[in-house]
């Protein structure tokens, strides 16, 4: 049977949907993503490793002694161009533009090398995130499995599966040097994956790296695919895995820690003064206040989960413009089935590939749910920060854990560092969403060309929110304590307890009592008695904070 292949186009890529949450403990996978490559039960899941998320090489790059001072620049951004290779240390790779010399110890080929030279933009700090590399490995292995059903030589297909499995496990992370700032379709990163898997498969089969024989990066690794449908598929796989394995468990863990505080404060029946507009208001319990934070996170996780179904729709099979040229019937469905089997998450083929390539609404929606979550977390962290202000001259209602010294000049000062870190994370996530929204707009005709930007921002937001919430939970919420004496003293001084007098003496008289007390420095009781609004006994009967924290039963007139 004639093999069908789609050469990677210079335009290319689009996006896909998400899924539901699994507890962190259930993140391990004991089998290889690909059926013919069973791994031992002790191997780590390629989908749960966090070691390489930084985007930096998993092993330090060692500069050759042949490095010339002229070529070496100490800035890390030139790390991949710092080594001066001799001709003996290089090999020739070719593409449609001709021959290119590449490092002999790297699996990448000509198109990757050209991208390294053409896009020297904050290398290597802005390398394509490792979740994308993992997803490439998952997808390329799945494609090999399906393509073997449509004529791909099984010998070649199995070698591709093995190489792709190593990519999914991040064993070859050092061979993915490209930055996010490249073609808007992600073509260079797709070819980076094709070249690495091709050369590794050639090596497995005993061939010569760079020969493209017996495994060709386009004809075999990229068989039945385009960058335009591959990169969006990878985007969705990566987003779903990160949301399910990192973000949702982090939200739930913080939510649980806050619920523990609600229960603790409720058991102590701590009543405090409420505040609206940063001014004194009527009382509530500390448990009620914290229950609002718990509810925010309950809604937050639902919003995130609601973005998963659309992210679980895969673009693969649309090829160049969504028509599916150079594929066979059943290929797209086969890819979704294989990715589902490899990840343990149910993915489906997108019902409309034109939308999948040209728009990234699912990514923008997911980013929007993170934007809302960031807004919630910002409010929670700010409240706790202000309530913990002091220790003597602030509100001081909460005692925050003292984790580190807070000042290089003021001895004994301790700052609300976890609150500040989390609110900075939230600000970054909100900024990421703005850029992602702009990226989502930029689908001209049949292809969105801001793909690397939108997925980089989404994955960045997922990761820093996940880590930020874990840090906030562990280093602040767990050790948070109520300063009951300070809470009680503040509440006694509040003039807003006068609100409970309204039903008895009316709003106008109650207002006079409060203003008189404030003007003369009296207590509410003293002011009410001075104005003859109430007797002492009547005041004591009405002003009971414990009766002001919820609606009362109607007893009739």
Please give the positions annotated as active site. Answer: 277, 407
Interatomic CA distance for residues 360 and 354, integer angstroms: 11
Tell me the chain's radius of gyration from C-alpha atoms: 30
- Peptide bond between residue 391 and the one before it cis (omega within 30 degrees of 0): yes
Residue 95 φ then ψ, to 5°: -145, -165
Cα separation, 308 vs 317, in Å, equals: 20
Bridge partners, residue 314, by sequence: 349
Integer Cα distance of 125 and 55 in angstroms: 7
**Alpha-carbon gap, residue 131 to 535, rounded angstroms:** 70
Distance CA 129, CA 176 (A): 10
- Spatial CB neighbours of 378, under 8 Å, sequence gap ≥ 6: 422, 423, 426, 427
| Cα 365 from Cα 373, distance rounded (Å) | 12
List the beta bridge partners of residue 95. 98
Rounded Cα distance, 200 and 105, in Å: 11
Separation CA 500–CA 514 (nearest Å): 12
Secondary structure (DSSP) of 143-206: HHHHHGGGT--HHHHHHHHHHHHHHHTTTTGGG---BS-S-TT-HHHHHHHHHHHHHHHHHHTT
Rounded CA-CA distance 229/143 in Å is 12
Cα-based angle 48, 52, 57 (whole degrees, multiple of 5): 155
Find out whether 140 and 156 touch, Cβ atoms under 8 Å.
no
Q: C-alpha distances in angstroms, 239 versus 24, 181, 354, 432?
A: 16, 19, 20, 15
- Are 315 and 356 spatial neighbours (Cβ–Cβ below 8 Å)? yes
Q: In terms of C-beta distances under 8 Å and separation of at least 24 residues, what long-range contacts does 495-499 make, across chains too?
A: 495/280, 495/524, 496/273, 496/274, 496/280, 496/281, 496/282, 496/283, 497/282, 497/283, 497/524, 497/543, 497/545, 497/548, 498/524, 499/282, 499/548
Distance between CA atoms of 100 and 111, rounded to whole angstroms?
A: 9
């Amino acid at each position: 049977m004639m093999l069908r292949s789609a050469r990677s186009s210079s335009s290319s890529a689009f996006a896909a949907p998400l899924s539901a949450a699994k507890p962190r403990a259930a993140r391990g996978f004991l089998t290889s993503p690909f059926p013919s490559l069973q791994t031992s039960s002790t191997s780590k899941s390629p989908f749960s490793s966090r070691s390489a998320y930084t985007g930096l090489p998993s092993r330090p790059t060692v500069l050759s002694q042949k490095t010339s001072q002229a070529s070496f620049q100490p800035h890390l951004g030139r790390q991949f161009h710092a080594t001066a290779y001799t001709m003996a240390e290089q090999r020739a790779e070719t593409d449609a533009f001709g021959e290119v010399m590449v490092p002999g110890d790297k699996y990448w080929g000509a198109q990757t090398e050209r991208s390294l030279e053409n896009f020297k933009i904050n290398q290597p700090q802005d390398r394509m995130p490792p979740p994308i590399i993992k997803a490439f490995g998952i997808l390329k292995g799945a494609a090999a499995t399906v393509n073997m059903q449509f004529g791909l030589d099984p010998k070649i297909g199995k070698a591709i599966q093995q190489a792709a499995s190593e990519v999914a496990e991040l064993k070859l992370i050092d061979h993915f040097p490209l930055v996010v700032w490249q073609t808007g379709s992600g073509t260079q990163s797709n070819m980076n994956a094709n070249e690495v898997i091709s050369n590794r498969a050639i090596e497995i089969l005993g061939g010569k790296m760079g020969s493209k024989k017996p495994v060709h990066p386009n004809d075999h690794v990229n068989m039945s695919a385009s960058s335009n449908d591959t990169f969006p598929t990878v985007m969705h796989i990566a987003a779903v895995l990160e949301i399910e394995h990192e973000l949702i468990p982090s939200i739930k863990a913080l939510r649980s820690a806050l619920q523990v505080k609600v229960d603790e404060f409720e058991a102590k029946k701590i009543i405090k003064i409420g505040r609206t507009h940063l001014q004194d208001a009527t009382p509530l319990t500390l448990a009620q206040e914290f229950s609002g934070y718990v509810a925010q996170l309950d809604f937050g996780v639902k919003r995130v989960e609601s973005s998963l179904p659309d992210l679980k729709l895969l673009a693969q099979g649309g090829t160049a413009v969504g028509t599916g040229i150079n594929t066979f019937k059943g290929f797209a469905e086969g890819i979704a089935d294989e990715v589902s089997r490899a990840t343990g998450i149910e993915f489906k083929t997108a019902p409309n590939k034109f939308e999948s390539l040209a728009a990234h609404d699912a990514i923008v929606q997911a980013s929007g749910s993170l934007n809302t979550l960031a807004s919630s977390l910002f409010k929670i962290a700010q409240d706790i920060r202000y309530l913990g202000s002091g220790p003597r001259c602030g509100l001081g209602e909460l005692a925050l854990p003292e984790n580190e010294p807070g000042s290089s000049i003021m001895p004994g000062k301790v700052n609300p560092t976890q609150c500040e870190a989390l609110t900075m994370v939230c600000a970054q996530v909100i900024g990421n969403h703005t850029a992602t929204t702009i990226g989502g707009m930029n689908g001209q005709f049949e292809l969105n060309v801001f793909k690397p930007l939108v997925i980089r921002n989404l994955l960045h937001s997922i990761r820093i929110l996940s880590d930020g919430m874990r840090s906030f939970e562990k280093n602040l919420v767990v050790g948070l304590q109520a300063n009951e004496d300070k809470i009680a003293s503040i509440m006694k001084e509040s003039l807003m307890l006068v609100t409970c007098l309204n039903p008895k003496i009316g709003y106008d008289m109650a207002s006079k009592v409060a203003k008189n007390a404030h003007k003369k420095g009296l207590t509410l009781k003293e002011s009410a008695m001075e104005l003859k609004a109430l007797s002492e006994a009547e005041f004591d009967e009405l002003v009971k904070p414990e009766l002001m924290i919820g609606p009362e039963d109607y007893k009739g007139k």
